[in-house]
Amino acid sequence: MEELKAEKHVQYILSIEKKKDNFESVVMEHLRMNGAYWGLTTLDILEKLETVDPDEIVSWVMKCQHESGGFGGNIGHDPHILYTLSAVQILALFDRINVLDIKSDISGLQNEDGFFSGDMWGEVDTRFSYIAICCLSLLHRWDKINVEKAVNYIVICKNLDGGFGCTPGGESHIFCCVGALSIMGSLRHIDKDLLWWWLCERQVKSGGLNGRPENLPGVCYSWWVLSSLIMIDRVHWIDKEKLVQFILDCQDKENGGISDRLNDAVDVFHTYFGVTGKLQLDFHLLDYPGLKSIDPAYALPVDVV
Amino acid sequence: MVRTRLCPSPTRTTSPKPWTISELSTEHMSAPTGPSASPLKPSTSTPAIILCGIFGVKYLSHLMLTCMMNWISLNMLPILTQKTIKFDFCRHHRRWVAEKLGADATSKELEFTKKILSLDAKNYHAWSHRQWVLQALGGWEDELDYCRQLLEDDIFNNSAWNQRYFVVTRSPLLGGLEAMRESEVNYTVEAIIANPENESPWRYLRGLYKGDTQSLVNDPQISSVCLKVLSTKSNHVFALSTLLDLICHGFQPSQEFKNAIDALKTPDSDPPDSGLAKAVCSILEHVDPMRVNYWTWRKSKLPAQAA
């Protein structure tokens, strides 16, 4: 089996960090905070985080914080929970969470019925439940929310196939709800018989994992579905070797980076999920502690969490 | 970097800024830079004066003006939102406007999502918006038929199966899951027979008996479709796993089932006196090797009466 081209991926990430004016950077300007999290976490798990300047990055991150306490996707962009989590995760990577003074409140985004909005405008989605719970857990601010109601809202999003929708009745996506329940110590609410089978059915003939029945496999599901299987301690129910091969086939062996599937263009999002997925599989296939392990619920290196 | 100014959410608490006609006509056509648009609340003063001048009408009520602003916004939004349905703030803004317009917006919103789904039948955000429209504004009358059309186009469309379940369980016009069960089972069995390798209808079938496993076990149509598929000796993974679940919940297979399973056994099968459930697990280990560990685990966990 071929190797993960770790050095190439490090060079790829460092190169895109420097490019702020090309087309790709400009169209993704609004979610640079997410991009930074994906890139920096990849560097950390490949043990290359020392190649970046932490002060510069932390300074930029803090410039994205608003009075409300939330973070925007870049300087001058409005706050949203999507970027707030990435900001907190980046600060955690550099062990700088102490610089945070979140006056208000992710907890303020929780509604009466337990669900979370993404920002002050009120859109509801179980992704936001996961993000809020993950964030508050990293900040040790559990006391700020109604955990029982948060769990109950996720449970009402459970579907006929054992999966969870983004809203009640929405088609099943899994990671955010399983991750949120895992962090809250509430995995007893999953319908094990249905969900276990649903998750391992995500592996298709090519070895890759898809996110929904009859959809194409993608490297990012090497994270979303794989982590879900790890959280429920069922990763041995898929063919791990075939999944590793699927990920490795999506590498750009010349220039670094990983794509969603074979022959697609690489990007930092899929590079992150491909690398983390591969390393998770190494850990479970080979019982190899070698490189850093990733926490499947927090999506951060275990030593950071 | 241009940032798009859009209508506010009703939760905004800061004071409104005047929203001129020129802003309306240019800002909405700009591409959004992300979920960061700062909403504005239209003031009556500036646009009212302009409109009064244009139409020569002395007085326009605040309500009429707001409705007009919202109608313009709702009609300009498709140009933006069809291309940017993935942007959270676009969808949310559209919902806010549709809510203001009420039932009048229903057919337009359903048509809007239909257009997106005609290009991408599994677009998660379009389905999410469509579900919101049905629940907030109505329009359930033709939804089951719409699901049928989409499934005629692509019987493997899991999103359409999910929507079908959504309609059957939540539509105020259909009587609920139990009332719809018989017709839906007939529909689903037909779909399974046409494409037994299709995961979605098998799961849908189980969903029709959610909370009532005994009825699932006792319904002869369920076991019968398993037997039909097994007899074809191909594409039978889901038929085998469904039969396995039925047996684990108390189903007593007839000789026909035993014969069908015998015909699928591999040379290195379990001993002949092994139970049928064990034999089914062994076959699944062989025909679904990617999940061999799962089927081995299922074999180890068979209830005593099934083993």
Q: How many CB atoms lie within 10 A of CB A194?
A: 20
Does the pLDDT at position B20 exceed 60? Answer: no
Q: How confident is the model at residue B52 (pLDDT cuts 50, 70, 90)?
A: very low
| Rounded Cα–Cα distance for residues A168 and A152 (Å) | 12
Q: Which of A214, A233, A243 to mutate to test the interface with B (most CBs of B within 10 A)?
A: A214
| Rounded Cα–Cα distance for residues A45 and A300 (Å) | 9
Tell which wins on pLDDT, B186 or B83.
Answer: B186
pLDDT tens column, B89-143:
677 788 888 988 888 899 999 999 999 999 999 999 999 999 999 999 999 999 9
Closest residue in A to B161 (Cα) is A171
Tokens of B121: 């039948």
| pLDDT of res. A290 | 56
The verdict on a CB contact (< 8 Å) between A170 and B157 is no
| Rounded Cα–Cα distance for residues A242 and A285 (Å) | 11
B158 contact A CB<8A: yes
Among the partner-chain residues A80, A123, A160, the one whose CB lies closest to the CB of B210 is: A160
Strands A266-267 and A258-259: antiparallel
Which chain B residues touch A73 with a CB distance below 8 Å? 34-36
A301: helix, coil or strand?
strand
pLDDT tens column, A171-192:
998 899 999 999 999 999 998 8
Among the partner-chain residues A73, A201, A239, the one whose CB lies closest to the CB of B199 is: A201
| pLDDT of res. B64 | 56
Q: Can you give the pTM of this predicted structure? A: 0.84
| Rounded Cα–Cα distance for residues B197 and A296 (Å) | 31
Lowest mean pLDDT: which of B25-29, B136-140, B219-223? B25-29
Q: How many CB atoms lie within 10 A of CB B273?
A: 5
Q: How confident is the model at residue B75 (pLDDT cuts 50, 70, 90)?
A: low
| pLDDT of res. B56 | 42
The verdict on a CB contact (< 8 Å) between A171 and B127 is yes
Does the pLDDT at position A211 exceed 80? Answer: yes
Among the partner-chain residues B8, B124, B291, the one whose CB lies closest to the CB of A171 is: B124
Lowest mean pLDDT: which of A238-242, A289-293, B302-306? A289-293
Q: How many CB atoms lie within 10 A of CB A209?
A: 28
Q: What is the CA radius of gyration of chain B?
A: 27
Question: Across residues A120-141, what is the average pLDDT?
Answer: 90
CB–CB of B153/B119 below 8 Å? no
B290 contact A CB<8A: yes
Does the pLDDT at position B182 exceed 60? Answer: yes
For chain A, the average pLDDT equals 90
| pLDDT of res. B29 | 28
Q: How many CB atoms lie within 10 A of CB B176?
A: 12
Highest mean pLDDT among A8-12, B5-9, B57-61: A8-12
| pLDDT of res. B13 | 29
B122 contact A CB<8A: yes
| pLDDT of res. A142 | 79
The verdict on a CB contact (< 8 Å) between B39 and A121 is yes
Structure ipTM: 0.92
For chain B, the average pLDDT equals 78
| pLDDT of res. B288 | 95
Does the pLDDT at position A43 exceed 70? Answer: yes
Question: Across residues A58-72, what is the average pLDDT?
Answer: 93
A237 contact B CB<8A: yes
| Rounded Cα–Cα distance for residues A2 and B297 (Å) | 31
DSSP letters, A106-169, are SGGGB-TTS-BBSSTT--B-HHHHHHHHHHHHHTT-GGGS-HHHHHHHHHTTB-TTS-B-SSTT
C-alpha torsion angle, residues B272, B275, B279, B282 (rounded to 10): -110
| Rounded Cα–Cα distance for residues A153 and A169 (Å) | 12
Question: Across residues A33-45, what is the average pLDDT?
Answer: 94
Among the partner-chain residues B12, B206, B291, the one whose CB lies closest to the CB of A200 is: B291
Closest residue in A to B156 (Cα) is A214
| pLDDT of res. B88 | 60
Nearest residue to A209 via CA among A304, A142, A278, A299: A278
Does the pLDDT at position A283 exceed 90? Answer: no
Q: Which helix (H) or strand (E) holds A267?
A: strand A266-267
| pLDDT of res. B156 | 97
Nearest residue to B197 via CA among B249, B247, B233, B251: B233
Does the pLDDT at position A36 exceed 70? Answer: yes
Angle between helix B124-137 and B106-119 (nearest 10) = 160
Supply φ then ψ for residue A301, to 5 degrees. -55, 145
Does the pLDDT at position B16 exceed 60? Answer: no
Q: Which of A176, A201, A240, A285 to mutate to test the interface with B (most CBs of B within 10 A)?
A: A201
Q: How far is A48 from chain B (nearest CA, A)?
A: 30
| pLDDT of res. A74 | 94
Does the pLDDT at position B8 exceed 80? Answer: no
Architecture label for domain A6-301: Alpha/alpha barrel (1.50)
| Rounded Cα–Cα distance for residues A260 and A267 (Å) | 8
CB–CB of B175/B208 below 8 Å? no
Q: How many CB atoms lie within 10 A of CB A270?
A: 25
Closest residue in A to B8 (Cα) is A121
Does the pLDDT at position B192 exceed 70? Answer: yes
Percent of chain A with pLDDT strictly greater than 90: 72
The letter for the amino acid at A302 is: V
The verdict on a CB contact (< 8 Å) between B158 and A30 is no
> Residues with Cβ < 8 Å from B212, sequence gap 6 or more?
none
The verdict on a CB contact (< 8 Å) between A169 and B131 is yes
Highest mean pLDDT among A273-282, B25-34, B71-80, B171-180: B171-180
Question: Across residues A190-219, what is the average pLDDT?
Answer: 93
Tokens of B36: 């960061």
A30 contact B CB<8A: yes
Closest residue in A to B91 (Cα) is A123
Lowest mean pLDDT: which of A8-22, A54-68, A152-166, A181-195? A8-22
Q: State the distance between the two ends of chain A, measured CA to CA, in whole angstroms.
A: 31
